Structure 1
Amino acid sequence: MQYKRLSNKKFTKQRHQKEIQLEKLPNLKGFFLGKNTFRWPLLDTLFINDCPQLMTFTSGESKTPKLNYITTWFGKYGLDDFHGKINEYTQTTFPASSSYVTDSMTFSFHNLIEIDTQTAYAVETLIPSNMLLQLQKLEKICLSSCSKLKEVFEVVSLDESGFNESQTTVVKIPNLKQVKLNRVDDLKYLWKSNRSMVLLEFPNLTTVSIEHCASLEYVFTCSMVGRLVQLQDLHIRGCGKIEVIVKEQEESEAKMTMLSRLKSLKLINLESFKGFCLGKENFSLPLLDSLQIQECPAITVFTNGYLSTPELKVIDTSFGLYYVKPHLNSFIKTKQVEGYEF
């Protein structure tokens, strides 16, 4: 460790420090609260968890040129806007290392780039409605064993959320690419509009994977799925209550919904699954070339409306690989008549 004078302050250079983990420190207020200026030339990992009183990292300046994000129990927060200055980051984001959002806590999602948690077990809503406009940098959501969680995104029209109740508001989550949910037992909705005139849009979402979410009855509504213009992979497994993937909307007219990028669809071990969509909607899946339907004994049809899958040649079922001739809906009905169980 070296020191030298800089404007009557000590300069401290941590030459070899690459990783710092601060965990379960209930009285920690900062890494160092003196006036020293710190420089961490190699620090690339900073993990902070269960430090409820942490308000700043160092009282003096602290530079971390190789540190791109801070990891907490909730996920990863980017440092792009702070140019390696972690004090400015912690002062705007913390306390965020031990508790979830409450009415008495100021908590920012502005720099959140990844939600990856198994510990959001005490909340029913992961992202409150008044935080939706802050999710401009969010890239990934990965949830596991969040036992009480009922919805990922809360979408309601409230003045304090920044939405106008008199007109439809589209809220874009522009950088979200991946959603993975596993064993979120009480989950009922990914996002629900509550007739609020607020629509979420995910223009770059490419992958959705949902496994063993026992309470989930559907994945999207028709208005949601039509906005997933980049969705490529959709995999659903072991969700016993799911009846449809796309829920029809009340009083909806027959219209064409295109999932223009969807290539892979896997539906496995869905004991209540009846069909992809059972409403009047028509679907075009122009790039779908991989379809797996296994252990779905309740399926009756893929869609009730018109269905176009020009690239789909083979379907992987519980009873083997089969050519889809001439049409997916016809294939399902024919195999059921023949006594096959999907």
Structure 2
Amino acid sequence: MKLITPSTARSLVQLRDMSIFNCEMLIEIVENEGEGDATTTTTEIVFNNLKKLSLENLNSLTFFCSGNYSFNFPSLEELIIKYCPNMKTFSRGILSTPKLHKIDYERKEKDLENKGNELNTTIQQAHKTKVDSNLMALRLSEGDIIRIWQGELPKNSGKVKTLQLIKDESTNIPIQILQKFSRLEELKLQGSSYEEIFSCNEDEEHVRTLTKLKVLELLGLFNLKYIWKQDSRLNSILQNLYRINVQYCHNLTTLLPSSSSFENLSTLKVKYCNGFRNLLSSSTARSLVRLVELEVEECEMMMEVLANEGDTENGTIVFEKLEDLYMYGLKSLTCFCSGSYTLKFLNLERLKIYRCSKMKTFSEGDLSMPRLQELNRKDCSKSDLDTITQQLQNDCSKFCMEYKGEEE
């Protein structure tokens, strides 16, 4: 994701202060429209009056601009860069910051020489120092991934436990690359073109290299259709995952295949994924014996969390360890489950449901929540189940009416 086009940037002639923060999917500030080639006459972008530029908590940011534009900041005096872990350089083209003498990089002042023209070099060196100090985490993007394909391994790759891949144009991740990180426990993928993460055509040798994987995070993979297919031989990977976090993957319709077991999964978070109509099958739900936290937010098409599979005898589904259940902004959700399952939440302590405008009841079957302490931030520790269920239904109706009122 980008913030502004080059033509918009050129129009900001009176801009004095630009502060950008907490934009998790933002990759660059000024979009690269490919203008910086030999056939283009105007490739310079000037921010005449900009005095302060602050970039904070931008987890996916790689450049201010990745294009070959010339940037001129004649008035810039203050530059702050904090918690932008993937920003290795400011820009690729010619850069002029004559009034900038220092930058605030991760709360440390860095001196600039040559009238600020060493900004790129300063950021590159600071980033390298930070990366070298944390040998167990590695972030790669674009050219880095290509070099690994060509056999150029980063130093200390055998120590890497956390690997983050950003802005990769491949349609799927070749497991051969991940195989080079023998101690890999966390895999984070952001802003890439993957249509499928793990291919079912990989051999058992490559599968074994990923059995240590414990954390999987998928952020802004807009083309993603599958993480793994039902017949994938990579199902053994799933058994060791304890945290899955998926955000902004709108083409993804199935997250956890029903043919697999997730017996070690403790945290599952799904946000801004508009392709899901439901999240869990009954067989998948029964395998979540260690699930402690479940969050589902802003998934526009989700009608129920636990799918009604039309079983003749729905039976009982037990969530043994679940303590926190949070559902927010699910405007198509009608209930947690429309089937006649008996649902038992043996350790559920906190239940929060907000902005679910069509939800009028929690489930159609029998329900047990013996340890529920907090319902929508209200103390319900001394209430019986009938009172809790009634309160939940009242809250659902209340939030439904309030949400419709806001829309009108």
- What is the number of equivalent residue pairs in this alignment? 259
C-alpha contact 1:73 1:98 (8 A) present in aligned 2: no
SS at match of 2:284: helix
Is residue 189 from structure 1 mapped to residue 254 from structure 2 by the alignment? yes
TM-score normalized by the length of structure 1: 0.64
Whichever residue aligns with residue 298 of structure 1, its letter is K
C-alpha contact 1:290 1:312 (8 A) present in aligned 2: yes
TM-score normalized by the length of structure 2: 0.55
- From the two aligned structures, give the one with the greater strand fraction: 1
Is residue 156 from structure 1 mapped to residue 231 from structure 2 by the alignment? yes
Is 106-115 or 233-242 further displaced after alignment? 106-115
Q: What corresponds to 2:288 in structure 1?
A: 228
CA distance in 2, matches of 1:315, 1:339: 13
Q: What corresponds to 2:97 in structure 1?
A: none
CA distance in 1, matches of 2:319, 2:188: 27
Specify which of 270, 278, 295 is matched with residue 218 of structure 1: 278
Q: What corresponds to 2:268 in structure 1?
A: 208
SS at match of 2:390: helix
CA distance in 2, matches of 1:155, 1:339: 37
CA distance in 2, matches of 1:339, 1:147: 31
C-alpha contact 1:101 1:107 (8 A) present in aligned 2: no
C-alpha contact 1:257 1:281 (8 A) present in aligned 2: yes
Is 212-221 or 109-118 further displaced after alignment? 109-118
- By how many angstroms is 1:173 displaced? 2.3
C-alpha contact 2:341 2:365 (8 A) present in aligned 1: yes
Is residue 118 from structure 1 mapped to residue 190 from structure 2 by the alignment? yes
Is residue 271 from structure 1 mapped to residue 271 from structure 2 by the alignment? no
SS at match of 2:256: strand
- By how many angstroms is 1:99 displaced? 4.0
Q: What corresponds to 1:147 in structure 2?
A: 222
- By how many angstroms is 1:271 displaced? 0.7
Is residue 246 from structure 1 mapped to residue 306 from structure 2 by the alignment? yes
C-alpha contact 2:251 2:274 (8 A) present in aligned 1: yes
- By how many angstroms is 1:251 displaced? 3.0
SS at match of 1:153: coil
- By how many angstroms is 1:326 displaced? 3.5
Q: What corresponds to 2:176 in structure 1?
A: 107
Whichever residue aligns with residue 198 of structure 2, its letter is I
Is residue 300 from structure 1 mapped to residue 360 from structure 2 by the alignment? yes
CA distance in 2, matches of 1:227, 1:233: 15
Q: What corresponds to 1:74 in structure 2?
A: 165
SS at match of 1:229: coil
- By how many angstroms is 1:289 displaced? 0.7
CA distance in 2, matches of 1:125, 1:250: 29
- By how many angstroms is 1:100 displaced? 5.1
How do 1:47-66 and structure 2 match up within 5 A? 47-49=139-141, 50-51=143-144, 52-54=146-148, 55-57=150-152, 64=156
Whichever residue aligns with residue 261 of structure 2, its letter is E
How do 1:311-326 and structure 2 match up within 5 A? 311-316=371-376, 321=378, 323=380, 325-326=384-385
C-alpha contact 1:289 1:311 (8 A) present in aligned 2: yes
Deviations 1:243-278 (A, max 9, x none): 111102243422111110000001111111111111
- From the two aligned structures, give the one with the greater helix fraction: 2
CA distance in 1, matches of 2:241, 2:339: 28
Whichever residue aligns with residue 305 of structure 1, its letter is G
Q: What corresponds to 1:332 in structure 2?
A: 392
- By how many angstroms is 1:139 displaced? 0.9
* Cα gap change, 1:250 to 1:269, in 2 (>3 Å): same
CA distance in 2, matches of 1:139, 1:315: 31
CA distance in 2, matches of 1:42, 1:339: 49
Q: What corresponds to 1:196 in structure 2?
A: none
SS at match of 2:391: helix
SS at match of 1:265: strand
- Unaligned 5+ runs, structure 2: 1-86, 90-131, 403-408
SS at match of 1:332: helix
C-alpha contact 1:114 1:140 (8 A) present in aligned 2: yes
- By how many angstroms is 1:71 displaced? 6.2
- Unaligned 5+ runs, structure 1: 1-20, 24-40, 76-96, 163-169, 194-198
CA distance in 1, matches of 2:301, 2:314: 26
Whichever residue aligns with residue 190 of structure 1, its letter is L
SS at match of 1:141: strand
Q: Which has the higher contact order (CA 8 A, sep 6+)?
A: 1
Whichever residue aligns with residue 256 of structure 2, its letter is W
Whichever residue aligns with residue 107 of structure 1, its letter is Q
* Cα gap change, 1:53 to 1:144, in 2 (>3 Å): closer
Whichever residue aligns with residue 118 of structure 1, its letter is Q
* Cα gap change, 1:124 to 1:252, in 2 (>3 Å): farther
Q: What corresponds to 1:37 in structure 2?
A: none
Deviations 1:40-90 (A, max 9, x none): x988265554242544448xxx995x9611765538xxxxxxxxxxxxxxx
State percent identity of aligned pairs. Answer: 19
